[in-house]
Amino acid sequence: MTENNEINGVLVVDDDNSIRQLVGSALSRAGFNVTLAANGRIGVEHVRAATRPFGLILMDHHMPEMDGLKACRVMRSCAPDTPIIMMSTDQLSPVVREAGADDFLPKPFAIRELINCINKHIDS
């Protein structure tokens, strides 16, 4: 397994502050360098401004200003090799893959499921 501090950080994009903070804290405790964004537009700004690509992007589907599917398409054009995992309470697996996401994590999920999903993508 890749050491968590060897990747260039995880970008967590979710408009729900409690989920964003919970996921960010859990990933920080797991050893990841975490950047938080409150919507897709801000997430895209982080991706465009990064001097090195993020190691992974974890993003919600339903958000104001720019939803996760649109943000995923833009991020994919800016960072074609960065794994993107979409999260949602909706069952969107085929739709998120069409938008360019590498994986789909249905909400609610256990932190262990999240870590396993992330490790699957950073180890490959």
pLDDT digits (tens, 9 = 90+) for 82-122: 999 999 888 766 778 888 899 999 999 999 999 999 999 98
Residue 5: pLDDT band with limits 50, 70, 90: very low
Q: CATH number of the domain at 49, please.
A: 3.40.50.2300
Q: Could you count the other beta carbons within 10 Å of the beta carbon of residue 51?
A: 5
What is the residue whose two structure tokens read 């490790």?
119
Whether the model pTM is above 0.85: yes
- Residue 97 phi, psi (nearest 5): -65, -35
Total number of domains in the chain: 1
Per DSSP, what are the bridge partners of residue 86? 59, 104
Range of the domain at 21: 4-122
